[in-house]
Amino acid sequence: MILFLAISAGLVYANLTLKGGGDFYVHWAAGRGFLSENFKHGKDLAPAENKKVEEPIQRVDPYGGRIPAQVQQIVYGRAARAGEEPYILDTPFQIFLLYLPFSLLSDPHLARALFTLILELALFALAVQSLRLTDWETPRIFTVSFIFFAVFNFYSFQAISEASPVLLLGFLYAEILFTLRMDMDELTGALMAVSLYYWEVGAPFLIFIFLRVLYEKRKRVFSVFFMSSLILLFVSFLGYPNWILPFLRATANNLKADFGFNTRAVFIHLLPSYGGVIAWILIIALVLMLGYEWSMARRGDARHFYWAACLSLAAAPLLGFRTEMEHLSVLMIPLALVFSIIYERWRKFGAGINYSLLLIMFAIPWAVFIFTPNRFSTTAQEIIFLFLPLSTVIGLYWIRWWAINPPRIWTDLMPRT
């Protein structure tokens, strides 16, 4: 307990000095503006400002233009430039309400540090739950190695740096798979209700889960999902009755902004002559593959369903939606499945293969980032972005047969040589 408290205190102190955090600050600032009757000219955003505002004004619209301007000053110290994230709030209001407790803190850096501590704990839980989902009796040294990889890889570091809630979403996705397996339908429905966020990360995954639940006629999942969603929406309309139109307007403005990664734009930049054609071939192939795998796994056994759910997460960043580097941290779920099947299939050499792959997947993104002459160049960032989802999709298809077909005869259970 003392060790846990010491580590927690150290993490909070470390996060007080980290740069970035815009994904959290936009919610914190919007919450401060929404809760405060005396929010004027952004003075309430500055932790050192304790002066009283003389002229009370109405609450600030969290989806309005004032919030992005203030957050850009916190993150960049200036207005956002082309290619930088403008930090426009496009979170559904029922999810945005979950950030309000942090907005009660007047110091944005302290609020971010506490929120990031929660994210770090969620990341640790995501790594552990990803291994549990495989039903693999993981060697202790590999468990430690995988957790180290999950926590310190380049993509998780970006998520922590930005204080991105995608780490919480990743843990929720893992829990959805676990609760479905354990027939905890009510909890599954509730988890799905609070996961309707960051569509570019989880839309294929959640759609496939809905298809599976619909096929199995698990009415309790749907009943709790709709009940939880209606309660959240009811509370949101009580707090802000007219939030739908401002939310849609902010979402449209965010989609128009030029930041993040898009499969087609990445390939066009890397291969100007024929990158666009390659991108469309890849996107169409992935859509067709997902359609086929969903149709097969929707009525397949638990192993097939689990593999297809992992494929849905791995393919999402490559489907052409604009996404961000930190969103790739949820791919710890499919990577754990890949490592478990490799170990089960090639017992004699599986451990060596796993450690080699773990080292490669950890080292390459960091090496590109550190040793590229201009580490912040668009090309370096795009290579790092493509590396993990492409590797994960290839890995999932490499182990597909063994993942979805349980051993049928006693010789299949013997160690491989």
Question: Torsion-angle region of residue 42: left (phi > 0), alpha (psi -120 to 50) or beta?
Answer: left
Domain boundaries in the chain?
Answer: 2-413
Exposure b/e, 342-368, CB count within 10 A at least 16 = b: bbbbbeeebbeebeebbeebbebbeeb
Model pLDDT, residue 416: 46
Give the model's pLDDT for residue 232: 92
Structure tokens at 300: 């397949």
**Terminal-residue alpha carbon distance, the chain:** 45
- CA–CA separation, 169 vs 360, rounded Å? 26
State residue 376's pLDDT score.
Answer: 67
pLDDT tens digits in sequence order for the chain, 417 residues long = 454 455 555 555 555 555 678 889 999 999 988 887 544 444 444 444 444 433 334 567 888 888 888 888 888 888 877 777 888 888 999 999 989 999 888 888 889 989 999 999 999 999 999 999 998 888 889 999 999 999 999 999 999 988 999 999 999 999 999 999 999 999 999 999 999 888 889 999 999 999 999 998 899 999 999 999 999 999 999 888 889 999 999 988 888 877 888 999 999 999 988 888 999 999 999 999 999 999 998 888 889 999 999 999 999 999 988 899 999 999 999 999 999 999 888 877 878 899 999 999 999 999 998 888 776 678 889 999 999 999 999 999 999 999 888 665 444 445 444
Q: String of b and e for 134-170 (b: at least 16 CB within 10 Å)?
A: bebebeeebeebbbebbbebbbbbbbbbbbbbbbbbb
Question: Collapsing DSSP states into helix, strand and coil, what is residue 106?
Answer: coil
Tell how far CA 379 is from the center of its chain: 23
What's the confidence (pLDDT) of residue 12?
54
Amino acid at 416: R
